[in-house]
């Protein structure tokens, strides 16, 4: 471990350090760690907040949106005065005020097949806090090729789906081979979303990111966690690696060059090589 | 036989309920059940089955296990089984 903790850090992170499961070594590991958060919206906000508070040394924030007033009902790191500011910049301002130990790398861009490899390169963990199917499939595919784990979370009105995709476990396509047709699963702007829902789901994603960085606990691997805010129930459904999975099955892809991530939600894999 | 059907996300809205208890004829497969659901709920038509198989965009679980890892559409159902139906969601 390249870092040693100074007196301020020993104070700031004392509630981590006092625990045997983390200790000064674990905290140093967090300070040395890097997490790329894709999306600084409802899910990304609590993820960024807790990663920063806990002293994750490098947080990447990829988002091409600007803060809108209608975001503030749930996207708790952004403020009224930042309406109109790029979300990546607003997130960076928030983190800088919270914890000077953290370096924020901002990527004010949409994640595309052209930039994804460069974007994720070198990160220890990716948190998928995006809001659309093409990005989710693209991030899954590229992260699998790069061997980077993903803490995945997605929300719908009062429900959340959370799972963790580790390099040797099942991937997102093992669970959902294809994206639904555009429009068949509406987005938050169309359906609305309970403001606190992404808080709960994002906090679970952040928890998974911490465990991956620390190499501690049992990741939510091969399990899809359903959260129902109205019933206040959590259910875990096991799922397996699919041998026919085009990305991680018996005949896996070796690049994303032949995959088309269309503007809508459908993701086509073309067969020509 | 009696089955417990559990719907998530968009399927929950179509069914208007989260959990439904239903009685079916004794000899029933997943394919038969999905066909019956498509007939009962017009908005589920073409959302569950395509070309005689389960649509690749949805998940069907029998007692918490994905039926694709059993006999797929031919998976036999038994009295007391719980079937869960869910699509992926993408909101963030």
Interface of A with B (CB under 8 A): 39, 41-44, 129-133, 136, 153-157, 159, 161, 175-181, 184-185, 187-188, 191, 193, 198, 226, 228, 231, 237-240, 242, 265
* Topology of the domain comprising B2-86: Ubiquitin-like (UB roll) (3.10.20)
With residues binned 3-state (H G I as helix, E B as strand, rest as coil), the percentages for chain B, rounded to 5, are 30, 30, 40
Q: Across the interface, which of B65, B89, B91 has its CB nearest the CB of A238?
A: B65
Q: Across the interface, which of B59, B65, B91 has its CB nearest the CB of A131?
A: B91
Minimal C-alpha gap between B80 and chain A (Å): 18
Backbone angles phi, psi at A9, to 5 degrees: -70, -40
Q: What is the CATH number of the domain that holds A204?
A: 3.40.50.720
Domain that holds residue A69: 33-241
Question: How would you write the pLDDT of chain A (273 residues) with one tens digit per residue?
Answer: 445 899 999 999 999 999 999 999 999 999 999 999 999 999 999 999 999 999 999 999 999 999 999 999 999 999 999 999 999 999 999 999 999 999 999 999 999 999 999 999 999 999 999 999 999 999 999 999 999 999 999 999 999 999 999 999 999 999 888 787 776 666 667 788 999 999 999 999 999 999 999 999 999 999 999 999 998 999 888 888 988 888 999 988 889 988 888 743 344 555 443
Instruction: Tell me the pTM.
Output: 0.91
Minimal C-alpha gap between A179 and chain B (Å): 6
Rounded CA-CA distance A272/A270 in Å is 6
- Name the more confident of A257 and B2: B2
Residue A12 resides in a domain: no
Q: What are B3-59's pLDDT values in tens digits?
A: 999 999 889 989 999 899 999 999 999 999 999 999 999 999 989 999 999 998 899
Residue A228 resides in a domain: yes
Q: Left (φ > 0), alpha (ψ -120 to 50) or beta: where does A158 sit?
A: alpha
Residue A258 resides in a domain: no
Residue A64 resides in a domain: yes
Question: Total structural domains in chain A?
Answer: 1
Beta strand A159-165 pairing with B82-86: unpaired
Q: For residue A264, what pLDDT is reported? A: 38
Residue A6 resides in a domain: no
Residue A249 resides in a domain: no
Minimal C-alpha gap between A152 and chain B (Å): 10
Q: For residue A103, what pLDDT is reported? A: 98
Q: For residue A269, what pLDDT is reported? A: 56
Which of A184, A185, A222, A236 to mutate to test binding with chain B, by most B CBs within 10 Å of its CB?
A185
Rounded CA-CA distance A27/A13 in Å is 7
């Amino acid at each position: 471990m390249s870092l040693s903790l100074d007196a301020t850090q020993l104070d700031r992170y004392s509630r981590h350090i006092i625990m045997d499961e983390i200790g000064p070594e674990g905290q140093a590991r967090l300070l040395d760690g890097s997490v790329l958060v894709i999306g600084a919206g409802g899910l990304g906000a609590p993820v960024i907040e807790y990663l920063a508070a806990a002293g994750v040394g490098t947080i990447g924030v990829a988002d091409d949106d600007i803060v809108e007033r209608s975001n503030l009902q749930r996207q708790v790191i952004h403020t009224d005065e930042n309406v109109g500011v790029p979300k990546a910049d607003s997130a960076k301002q928030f983190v800088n005020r919270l914890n000077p130990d953290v370096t924020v790398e901002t990527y004010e861009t949409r994640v595309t097949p052209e930039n994804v490899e460069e974007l994720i390169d070198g990160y220890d963990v990716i948190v998928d806090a995006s809001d659309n199917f093409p990005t989710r499939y693209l991030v899954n595919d590229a992260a699998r090729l790069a061997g980077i784990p993903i803490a995945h979370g997605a929300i719908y009105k009062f429900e959340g789906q959370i799972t963790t995709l580790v390099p040797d476990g099942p991937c997102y396509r093992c669970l959902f081979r294809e994206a639904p047709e555009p429009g068949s699963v509406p987005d938050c702007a169309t359906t609305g979303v309970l403001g606190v829902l992404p808080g709960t789901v994002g906090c679970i994603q952040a928890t998974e990111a911490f465990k991956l960085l620390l190499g501690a606990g049992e990741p939510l691997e091969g399990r899809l966690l359903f959260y129902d805010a109205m019933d206040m129930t959590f259910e875990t459904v096991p799922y397996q690696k699919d041998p026919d999975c085009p990305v991680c099955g018996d005949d896996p892809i070796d690049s994303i060059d032949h995959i088309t991530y269309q503007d809508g939600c459908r993701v086509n894999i073309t067969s020509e090589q | 036989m009696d089955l417990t059907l559990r719907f998530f996300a968009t399927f929950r809205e179509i069914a208007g309920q989260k959990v439904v208890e239903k009685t079916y004829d004794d000899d029933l497969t997943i394919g038969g059940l999905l066909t019956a659901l498509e007939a009962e709920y017009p908005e589920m038509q073409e959302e569950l089955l395509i070309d005689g198989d389960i649509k690749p965009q949805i998940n069907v679980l029998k007692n918490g296990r994905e039926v694709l890892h059993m006999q797929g559409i031919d998976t036999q159902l038994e009295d007391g089984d719980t079937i869960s139906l869910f699509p992926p969601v993408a909101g963030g």
